[in-house]
Amino acid sequence: MWNAAPSENFTGDVWFGELSRSDDPAGLFALAVQFTPGARTDWHSHPGGQTLYVVSGSGYVANEEGDRVSITPGDTVTIPPGELHWHGAGSSAPMVHLSLTTGGATEWSGRNVNNEEYRGRG
């Protein structure tokens, strides 16, 4: 079942499909995440890091240091523990990725990804 992602942490329409949740708060949490074109997360980090696996569509993953990669189906991206980053769909098509995290809840920075950052000019 898909549930709308909280709008305070995302730009655009994003849905979550929970795949697994450990009884241990620091254990594995797996989600399927669906982004509409141009939708993206806000800046955030994960205490235990994050692995993304792209199922369909295309998009971007970027970190605070300015590293940015384009992602397409079959790509796997590993984000180190504590690294401030964002990810989302490209502007012309939706994207679905699997998100695997450990170490506890997502830590949101309280900062949106602005349009310049989204376009790779921020």
- What pLDDT, on the 0 to 100 scale, is given for residue 1? 81
- Write the DSSP string, 70-113: EE-TT-EEEE-TT--EEEEE-SSS-EEEEEEE-SSS-EE-S---
Q: How confident is the model at residue 26 (pLDDT cuts 50, 70, 90)?
A: confident
Domain 3-118 belongs in CATH node 2.60.120.10:
yes
Predicted TM-score (pTM) of the model is 0.93
Tens of pLDDT, residue by residue over 34-67, are 999 999 999 999 999 999 999 999 999 999 999 9
Angle value at C-alpha 77, between 22 and 38, nearest 5 degrees: 95
Query: For residues 30 and 50, is the Cβ–Cβ distance under 8 A?
Result: no
Domain ranges of the chain: 3-118
